[in-house]
Amino acid sequence: MLNTRPLGRGAAARKYDLLTAMGTHALGQGRSEQVLVLRLITLVTARYSWARDALCVGQREIARLWSVDERTVKREMAKLRGRGWLELTRAGARGRVAEYRLGVERILEDTRPGWSRVGPDFEHRLSDAPDDGKVVPLPLRAAQVPPPDLSDGSEWALAQAILHAEAPGPYASWLRALRREGRSGGRLMLCAPSRFHAAYVQTHLCAQLLAACQSVDAGIDEVVVSAGA
């Protein structure tokens, strides 16, 4: 499989292979998936720095490129991070936008079923890994926990998608069981199945939890975890 980054000699062909794999995958899916992948392809084509292997674009510019509002940008970027197609390499801060890179291995794994529709040469090229000892197998997600349901579009669902992809261990053991209880201004309230569970999350995972929530909704300034009744 094409596990190397699209850099150096032969990079141009690998870039096109990657874009082709994503496009072919999208065309075999429903409308929402097609729109999401088209947005990523457009963003990559317009703004991805292949030399640096980095995407460094502000949400306002992405919103303008996609003809959507910034809230939609946050939601779509969270979905792409949640599935591992984008990887956060530098968090945003005041005066500095976040930086990402493509999750090439994950993209190829997810788009594999569509390779044969391009042609046998394409399928062979992407499946034929060089025997140079540099191919690293994809890490298994913790216990292969399924991704969260994003259908309600809530800030917690999107944050869960990010945690599922970027912190699979804590997500599987502790964060998956949390349920959204409500929202009051900048305070997001979550419910844990027990007092011990709530105390553990508040003590050990609070910062990670807040960072994930703020990455999809900057209006969140506190996450409170309490035990269910």
Q: How many domains does the chain have?
A: 2
pTM for the structure as a whole: 0.70
Asked if 80 and 109 sit in the same domain, the reply is: yes
104 Cα distance to chain centroid? 12
Q: Report the CATH number at residue 183.
A: 3.30.300.180
DSSP letter for 147, please. P
Other CB atoms within 10 A of residue 184 CB: 9
Read off the pLDDT of residues 69-84 as tens digits, 9 standing for 90 and up. Answer: 998 998 899 899 988 8
Asked if 37 and 110 sit in the same domain, the reply is: yes
Read off the pLDDT of residues 143-158 as tens digits, 9 standing for 90 and up. Answer: 467 788 887 888 999 9
How far is residue 210 from each of residues 10, 55, 86, 87, 221, measured CA to CA in Å? 41, 23, 20, 18, 8
Asked if 75 and 154 sit in the same domain, the reply is: no
Q: Are strands 179-184 and 222-227 parallel, antiparallel or unpaired?
A: unpaired
Predicted local confidence at residue 143, as pLDDT: 47
C-alpha closest to that of 144 among 169, 161, 121, 119: 169
In the predicted structure, residue 85 carries a pLDDT above the cut 80: yes
Asked if 72 and 36 sit in the same domain, the reply is: yes
> Of 94, 127, 160, which one is at a domain's C-terminal end?
127
In the predicted structure, residue 4 carries a pLDDT above the cut 90: no
For residues 210-227, give the mean pLDDT.
90
What residue numbers bound the domain in which 109 lies?
11-127
Asked if 51 and 85 sit in the same domain, the reply is: yes
For residues 20-30, give the mean pLDDT.
95
Asked if 67 and 167 sit in the same domain, the reply is: no
How far is residue 189 from each of residues 181, 183, 219, measured CA to CA in Å? 5, 6, 14
